[in-house]
Amino acid sequence: IQVPPQPAFFHQIDYYRTCFHELGHWTGHPTRLARDLSGSFGSNTYAREELVAEIASAFICSSLGIEPTVRHADYIGSWLTVLREDNRAIFRAASHASKAA
């Protein structure tokens, strides 16, 4: 997992939120939960994985009493595209995220 050092964050809590997001991606490896991590930025595959990682981060934050936030405004458009194309995508993402968290 690659995360900038803590001093790179204006608020220490954002460091942890970012770590939880990246841990969400970590669980997608073939030896763990085996999600499709092949998508490039802007693709639906990438957007789906970002949605899983962000929801996993929100689940972890919630369980630790940390207010989750969506820090990646750039991804929201991609998420909306995925959700418009597949009305079950949010349920699959939440299921994957629950396993990841």
Query: Alpha helices of the chain — where are they, by DSSP H?
Result: 12-26, 44-63, 73-85, 89-100
Query: Is 2 part of a structural domain of the chain?
Result: no
Query: Is 55 part of a structural domain of the chain?
Result: yes
Residue matched to tokens 């968290």? 101
Which of the residues in the chain have pLDDT under 50? none
Rounded Cα distance, 48 and 34, in Å = 14
C-alpha dihedral, 96 to 94 to 65 to 72, nearest 10°:
90
**Residue 98's pLDDT is what?**
93
Query: Is 89 part of a structural domain of the chain?
Result: yes
Find the domain containing 52 and state its range: 9-100
**Residue 74's pLDDT is what?**
60
**Residue 42's pLDDT is what?**
82
pTM of the model: 0.83
